[in-house]
Chain A
Amino acid sequence: MKLGGQIVTFVIAWAVLLLLLGINVLLAYQPIGGLHGFVPIGIAATQAFIIMAIFMKLRGRPSLKWVFAGAGFFWLMILLGLSSTDYMTRAAWPL
Protein backbone atom coordinates (compact mmCIF):
# COMPACT_ATOMS: atom_id res chain seq x y z
CA MET A 1 0.00 0.00 0.00
CA LYS A 2 1.37 3.42 -0.94
CA LEU A 3 1.82 6.00 1.80
CA GLY A 4 -0.36 8.71 0.31
CA GLY A 5 -1.69 11.99 1.68
CA GLN A 6 -4.95 10.38 2.74
CA ILE A 7 -3.22 7.83 4.97
CA VAL A 8 -1.18 10.59 6.62
CA THR A 9 -4.45 12.47 7.33
CA PHE A 10 -5.98 9.33 8.90
CA VAL A 11 -2.94 8.73 11.12
CA ILE A 12 -2.80 12.40 12.23
CA ALA A 13 -6.54 12.28 13.06
CA TRP A 14 -5.98 9.09 15.08
CA ALA A 15 -3.06 10.69 16.99
CA VAL A 16 -5.11 13.82 17.76
CA LEU A 17 -7.99 11.64 19.02
CA LEU A 18 -5.61 9.83 21.40
CA LEU A 19 -4.11 13.16 22.50
CA LEU A 20 -7.60 14.48 23.31
CA LEU A 21 -8.30 11.30 25.29
CA GLY A 22 -5.11 11.90 27.29
CA ILE A 23 -6.08 15.53 27.95
CA ASN A 24 -9.55 14.39 29.06
CA VAL A 25 -8.10 11.93 31.59
CA LEU A 26 -5.47 14.40 32.88
CA LEU A 27 -8.02 17.19 33.35
CA ALA A 28 -10.29 14.81 35.28
CA TYR A 29 -7.83 14.99 38.19
CA GLN A 30 -7.24 18.76 38.05
CA PRO A 31 -9.16 21.23 40.26
CA ILE A 32 -11.02 23.05 37.50
CA GLY A 33 -14.24 23.46 39.52
CA GLY A 34 -17.48 23.87 37.60
CA LEU A 35 -15.72 23.28 34.30
CA HIS A 36 -15.77 19.53 35.08
CA GLY A 37 -19.34 19.53 33.84
CA PHE A 38 -18.40 20.88 30.42
CA VAL A 39 -14.78 20.00 29.58
CA PRO A 40 -15.28 16.22 29.02
CA ILE A 41 -18.37 16.87 26.85
CA GLY A 42 -16.47 19.55 24.90
CA ILE A 43 -13.56 17.16 24.29
CA ALA A 44 -15.98 14.39 23.26
CA ALA A 45 -17.70 16.75 20.82
CA THR A 46 -14.30 17.64 19.30
CA GLN A 47 -13.41 13.94 19.00
CA ALA A 48 -16.80 13.23 17.41
CA PHE A 49 -16.25 16.05 14.92
CA ILE A 50 -12.85 14.61 13.91
CA ILE A 51 -14.24 11.06 13.56
CA MET A 52 -17.17 12.24 11.44
CA ALA A 53 -15.18 14.66 9.29
CA ILE A 54 -12.25 12.36 8.55
CA PHE A 55 -13.10 8.72 9.29
CA MET A 56 -16.73 9.05 8.17
CA LYS A 57 -15.66 11.33 5.31
CA LEU A 58 -18.10 14.18 5.83
CA ARG A 59 -15.48 16.76 4.84
CA GLY A 60 -15.05 17.73 1.22
CA ARG A 61 -17.52 19.16 -1.23
CA PRO A 62 -21.15 19.68 -0.17
CA SER A 63 -23.15 16.49 -0.39
CA LEU A 64 -26.57 15.11 0.46
CA LYS A 65 -24.91 13.26 3.36
CA TRP A 66 -24.63 16.61 5.15
CA VAL A 67 -28.41 16.92 5.17
CA PHE A 68 -28.92 13.63 7.00
CA ALA A 69 -25.98 14.08 9.37
CA GLY A 70 -27.19 17.63 10.04
CA ALA A 71 -30.77 16.41 10.61
CA GLY A 72 -29.56 13.94 13.25
CA PHE A 73 -27.63 16.72 15.01
CA PHE A 74 -30.56 19.17 14.72
CA TRP A 75 -33.06 16.77 16.29
CA LEU A 76 -30.57 15.84 19.01
CA MET A 77 -30.24 19.54 19.88
CA ILE A 78 -34.03 19.85 20.07
CA LEU A 79 -34.17 16.77 22.33
CA LEU A 80 -31.39 17.95 24.66
CA GLY A 81 -32.26 21.66 24.46
CA LEU A 82 -35.96 21.42 25.24
CA SER A 83 -35.40 18.76 27.92
CA SER A 84 -32.78 20.96 29.60
CA THR A 85 -34.94 24.08 29.59
CA ASP A 86 -37.66 22.08 31.33
CA TYR A 87 -35.47 20.64 34.07
CA MET A 88 -33.46 23.83 34.56
CA THR A 89 -36.58 25.95 35.08
CA ARG A 90 -38.62 23.69 37.36
CA ALA A 91 -39.05 25.43 40.72
CA ALA A 92 -39.60 22.24 42.69
CA TRP A 93 -37.34 19.51 41.34
CA PRO A 94 -36.66 16.92 42.59
CA LEU A 95 -40.15 16.51 43.97
Chain B
Amino acid sequence: MSQRAAALKPEMQYADLAQQGETAQLGMWIFLATEVLFFGGMMAAYLAYRMTYNADFDAAAKESVIWIGSVNTAVLVTSSLTMVMAIHAAAERERQPIVYFLLATAALGLIFLGLKGYEYVEDYNDAVVPVLNFHPKEGNPGAVELFWLFYFYATLLHAVHLTIGIILVFFMAVRAKRGAFDAGYYAPLEVVGLYWSFVDTVWVFLFALIYPIGRSG
Protein backbone atom coordinates (compact mmCIF):
# COMPACT_ATOMS: atom_id res chain seq x y z
CA MET B 1 0.00 0.00 0.00
CA SER B 2 1.37 3.44 -0.91
CA GLN B 3 2.09 5.94 1.84
CA ARG B 4 -0.72 8.21 0.60
CA ALA B 5 -3.30 5.42 0.48
CA ALA B 6 -2.26 4.30 3.95
CA ALA B 7 -2.70 7.85 5.23
CA LEU B 8 -6.26 7.96 3.87
CA LYS B 9 -8.41 7.59 6.92
CA PRO B 10 -11.71 9.27 7.68
CA GLU B 11 -11.85 12.01 10.32
CA MET B 12 -12.79 10.59 13.73
CA GLN B 13 -16.49 11.50 13.52
CA TYR B 14 -17.09 9.49 10.34
CA ALA B 15 -17.52 5.73 9.95
CA ASP B 16 -15.71 5.69 6.61
CA LEU B 17 -14.47 7.90 3.75
CA ALA B 18 -17.71 7.45 1.81
CA GLN B 19 -19.72 8.94 4.67
CA GLN B 20 -17.18 11.76 5.03
CA GLY B 21 -17.51 12.55 1.31
CA GLU B 22 -21.32 12.47 1.44
CA THR B 23 -21.29 14.84 4.42
CA ALA B 24 -18.98 17.27 2.61
CA GLN B 25 -21.39 17.34 -0.34
CA LEU B 26 -24.35 17.88 1.98
CA GLY B 27 -22.53 20.85 3.51
CA MET B 28 -22.10 22.38 0.06
CA TRP B 29 -25.79 21.78 -0.74
CA ILE B 30 -26.78 23.65 2.45
CA PHE B 31 -24.55 26.54 1.41
CA LEU B 32 -26.05 26.48 -2.10
CA ALA B 33 -29.58 26.63 -0.64
CA THR B 34 -28.60 29.91 1.05
CA GLU B 35 -27.10 31.10 -2.24
CA VAL B 36 -30.43 30.37 -3.99
CA LEU B 37 -32.05 32.88 -1.64
CA PHE B 38 -29.16 35.34 -2.03
CA PHE B 39 -29.64 35.54 -5.80
CA GLY B 40 -33.39 34.86 -5.45
CA GLY B 41 -33.94 38.10 -3.53
CA MET B 42 -32.36 40.08 -6.33
CA MET B 43 -34.40 38.24 -8.95
CA ALA B 44 -37.60 38.86 -6.95
CA ALA B 45 -36.86 42.61 -7.00
CA TYR B 46 -36.24 42.40 -10.76
CA LEU B 47 -39.55 40.57 -11.36
CA ALA B 48 -41.49 43.10 -9.26
CA TYR B 49 -40.12 46.03 -11.26
CA ARG B 50 -40.47 44.23 -14.56
CA MET B 51 -44.17 43.61 -13.84
CA THR B 52 -44.49 47.32 -13.13
CA TYR B 53 -42.38 48.78 -15.95
CA ASN B 54 -42.63 46.05 -18.59
CA ALA B 55 -42.28 48.27 -21.68
CA ASP B 56 -39.34 50.18 -20.18
CA PHE B 57 -37.55 46.94 -19.25
CA ASP B 58 -38.09 45.71 -22.83
CA ALA B 59 -36.62 48.96 -24.17
CA ALA B 60 -33.64 48.67 -21.81
CA ALA B 61 -32.97 44.95 -22.39
CA LYS B 62 -32.68 45.24 -26.14
CA GLU B 63 -29.63 47.48 -25.63
CA SER B 64 -27.81 44.58 -23.91
CA VAL B 65 -25.13 42.84 -25.98
CA ILE B 66 -26.84 39.51 -26.67
CA TRP B 67 -24.01 37.95 -28.66
CA ILE B 68 -21.61 38.27 -25.73
CA GLY B 69 -24.26 36.96 -23.33
CA SER B 70 -24.88 33.96 -25.59
CA VAL B 71 -21.21 33.14 -26.14
CA ASN B 72 -20.62 33.47 -22.39
CA THR B 73 -23.49 31.07 -21.67
CA ALA B 74 -21.96 28.53 -24.06
CA VAL B 75 -18.55 29.04 -22.41
CA LEU B 76 -19.94 28.48 -18.91
CA VAL B 77 -22.02 25.44 -19.92
CA THR B 78 -18.88 23.97 -21.51
CA SER B 79 -16.92 24.66 -18.33
CA SER B 80 -19.50 22.65 -16.37
CA LEU B 81 -18.84 19.76 -18.76
CA THR B 82 -15.04 19.97 -18.27
CA MET B 83 -15.57 20.19 -14.49
CA VAL B 84 -17.67 17.04 -14.38
CA MET B 85 -15.15 15.32 -16.67
CA ALA B 86 -12.40 16.17 -14.14
CA ILE B 87 -14.47 14.53 -11.39
CA HIS B 88 -15.03 11.52 -13.64
CA ALA B 89 -11.27 11.27 -14.24
CA ALA B 90 -10.71 11.40 -10.47
CA ALA B 91 -13.14 8.51 -10.02
CA GLU B 92 -11.03 6.55 -12.49
CA ARG B 93 -7.83 7.65 -10.72
CA GLU B 94 -6.29 9.22 -13.82
CA ARG B 95 -4.15 12.07 -12.57
CA GLN B 96 -3.21 13.87 -15.82
CA PRO B 97 -6.77 14.12 -17.22
CA ILE B 98 -7.94 15.58 -13.88
CA VAL B 99 -5.35 18.35 -14.14
CA TYR B 100 -6.09 19.06 -17.83
CA PHE B 101 -9.86 19.20 -17.33
CA LEU B 102 -9.51 21.45 -14.27
CA LEU B 103 -7.17 23.82 -16.11
CA ALA B 104 -9.63 23.89 -19.04
CA THR B 105 -12.42 24.72 -16.58
CA ALA B 106 -10.45 27.58 -15.02
CA ALA B 107 -9.45 28.86 -18.49
CA LEU B 108 -13.11 28.89 -19.63
CA GLY B 109 -13.98 30.81 -16.46
CA LEU B 110 -11.30 33.38 -17.30
CA ILE B 111 -12.61 33.65 -20.88
CA PHE B 112 -16.07 34.34 -19.43
CA LEU B 113 -14.69 37.12 -17.22
CA GLY B 114 -12.69 38.59 -20.12
CA LEU B 115 -15.78 38.70 -22.35
CA LYS B 116 -17.81 40.17 -19.49
CA GLY B 117 -15.22 42.93 -19.06
CA TYR B 118 -15.38 43.67 -22.79
CA GLU B 119 -19.19 43.76 -22.54
CA TYR B 120 -18.98 46.33 -19.73
CA VAL B 121 -16.84 48.53 -22.01
CA GLU B 122 -19.47 48.16 -24.76
CA ASP B 123 -22.17 49.06 -22.21
CA TYR B 124 -20.21 52.18 -21.28
CA ASN B 125 -19.91 53.16 -24.95
CA ASP B 126 -23.67 52.58 -25.35
CA ALA B 127 -24.25 55.01 -22.43
CA VAL B 128 -26.18 52.53 -20.29
CA VAL B 129 -23.99 52.60 -17.17
CA PRO B 130 -25.90 54.32 -14.32
CA VAL B 131 -23.97 57.16 -12.64
CA LEU B 132 -20.94 56.94 -14.95
CA ASN B 133 -22.47 57.33 -18.41
CA PHE B 134 -26.24 57.03 -18.65
CA HIS B 135 -28.25 58.46 -21.55
CA PRO B 136 -31.03 55.97 -22.45
CA LYS B 137 -32.30 56.13 -26.04
CA GLU B 138 -35.93 55.36 -25.18
CA GLY B 139 -38.27 54.59 -22.30
CA ASN B 140 -38.79 56.18 -18.89
CA PRO B 141 -35.18 56.95 -17.77
CA GLY B 142 -35.89 56.04 -14.13
CA ALA B 143 -37.31 52.62 -15.02
CA VAL B 144 -34.61 51.94 -17.61
CA GLU B 145 -32.02 52.76 -14.95
CA LEU B 146 -33.60 50.17 -12.63
CA PHE B 147 -33.00 47.49 -15.29
CA TRP B 148 -29.37 48.48 -15.71
CA LEU B 149 -28.80 48.65 -11.97
CA PHE B 150 -30.08 45.07 -11.73
CA TYR B 151 -27.85 44.10 -14.65
CA PHE B 152 -24.70 45.46 -13.05
CA TYR B 153 -25.41 44.28 -9.49
CA ALA B 154 -26.39 40.79 -10.65
CA THR B 155 -23.59 40.26 -13.16
CA LEU B 156 -20.93 41.72 -10.84
CA LEU B 157 -22.06 39.48 -7.96
CA HIS B 158 -22.03 36.54 -10.36
CA ALA B 159 -18.52 37.51 -11.51
CA VAL B 160 -17.35 37.58 -7.86
CA HIS B 161 -18.73 34.04 -7.40
CA LEU B 162 -17.07 32.90 -10.61
CA THR B 163 -13.73 34.42 -9.56
CA ILE B 164 -13.90 32.45 -6.29
CA GLY B 165 -14.72 29.36 -8.36
CA ILE B 166 -11.72 29.89 -10.64
CA ILE B 167 -9.40 30.19 -7.63
CA LEU B 168 -10.88 26.99 -6.10
CA VAL B 169 -10.61 25.08 -9.40
CA PHE B 170 -7.00 26.21 -9.85
CA PHE B 171 -6.23 25.15 -6.28
CA MET B 172 -7.79 21.74 -7.02
CA ALA B 173 -5.63 21.44 -10.16
CA VAL B 174 -2.49 22.04 -8.08
CA ARG B 175 -3.65 19.41 -5.56
CA ALA B 176 -4.45 16.95 -8.35
CA LYS B 177 -1.03 17.54 -9.92
CA ARG B 178 0.55 16.63 -6.57
CA GLY B 179 -1.46 13.41 -6.53
CA ALA B 180 -3.96 14.34 -3.83
CA PHE B 181 -6.76 12.42 -5.53
CA ASP B 182 -4.76 9.38 -6.65
CA ALA B 183 -6.00 7.15 -3.84
CA GLY B 184 -9.66 7.40 -4.78
CA TYR B 185 -10.90 10.02 -2.28
CA TYR B 186 -11.91 13.10 -4.27
CA ALA B 187 -14.74 14.66 -2.23
CA PRO B 188 -13.09 18.14 -2.30
CA LEU B 189 -13.23 18.00 -6.11
CA GLU B 190 -16.92 17.05 -6.02
CA VAL B 191 -17.69 19.89 -3.61
CA VAL B 192 -15.95 22.45 -5.85
CA GLY B 193 -17.78 20.91 -8.84
CA LEU B 194 -21.13 21.48 -7.12
CA TYR B 195 -20.24 25.13 -6.52
CA TRP B 196 -19.05 25.59 -10.10
CA SER B 197 -22.19 24.13 -11.68
CA PHE B 198 -24.34 26.20 -9.33
CA VAL B 199 -22.64 29.38 -10.55
CA ASP B 200 -23.42 28.12 -14.08
CA THR B 201 -27.08 27.60 -13.07
CA VAL B 202 -27.35 31.15 -11.72
CA TRP B 203 -25.99 32.45 -15.02
CA VAL B 204 -28.59 30.67 -17.21
CA PHE B 205 -31.30 32.48 -15.20
CA LEU B 206 -29.48 35.83 -15.42
CA PHE B 207 -29.17 35.31 -19.19
CA ALA B 208 -32.94 34.69 -19.43
CA LEU B 209 -33.75 37.81 -17.39
CA ILE B 210 -31.36 40.16 -19.21
CA TYR B 211 -30.77 39.30 -22.86
CA PRO B 212 -33.66 37.67 -24.80
CA ILE B 213 -36.39 40.21 -23.97
CA GLY B 214 -37.60 43.25 -25.91
CA ARG B 215 -36.08 42.21 -29.25
CA SER B 216 -39.06 41.01 -31.32
CA GLY B 217 -40.89 44.35 -31.68
A residues near B35, Cβ cutoff 8 Å: 72
How far in angstroms is the closest Cβ of chain B from A92?
A: 11
State whether A21 touches B73 (Cβ < 8 A): yes
Query: Contact between A93 and B92 (Cβ–Cβ < 8 Å)?
Result: no
The answer to whether residues A52 and B201 also contact, given A7-B85, A79-B44, A80-B43 and a CB cut-off of 8 A, is: yes
Task: Kindly state whether residue B12 has any CB partner on chain A within 8 Å.
Answer: no
How many residues of chain A are within 8 Å of chain B by beta carbon?
A: 51
**CB under 8 Å from chain A, chain B span 177-206:** 193-194, 197-198, 200-201, 204-205
In this complex, how many residues of chain B approach chain A with their Cβ under 8 Å: the count is: 54
Contact B208 A51 (CB under 8 A): no
One of A29, A48, A63 near B204 (C-beta < 8 A): A48
Chain B residue with Cβ nearest A56: B197
Contact with A along B36-48 (1 / 0, CB 8 A): 1100110110011
Q: Is B94 an interface residue (CB 8 A)?
A: yes
B88 at the interface (CB under 8 A from A): yes
B3-11, B23-31, B157-165: which lies at the interface: B23-31
**Cβ–Cβ contact A84 & B47, under 8 A:** yes
B211 touches A55 (CB 8 A): no
Shortest beta-carbon distance from B50 to chain A in Å:
8
Within 8 A of B (CB), among A37-92: 37, 39-41, 43-44, 47-48, 51-52, 54-56, 63-65, 68-69, 71-73, 75-76, 79-80, 83-84, 87-88
Residues of B within 8 A of A (CB): 22, 25-26, 29-30, 32-37, 40-41, 43-44, 47-48, 51-54, 66, 70, 73-74, 77-78, 80-81, 83-85, 88-89, 92, 94, 97, 193-194, 197-198, 200-201, 204-205, 207-209, 211-216
Interface residues of A (CB under 8 A from B): 1-2, 6-7, 10-11, 13-14, 17-18, 21, 24-25, 27-32, 36-37, 39-41, 43-44, 47-48, 51-52, 54-56, 63-65, 68-69, 71-73, 75-76, 79-80, 83-84, 87-88, 93-94
Q: Can you list 12 A-B contacts (CB < 8 A)? A: A7-B88, A10-B84, A21-B207, A24-B212, A40-B207, A40-B212, A43-B208, A47-B204, A48-B201, A55-B81, A64-B22, A72-B32
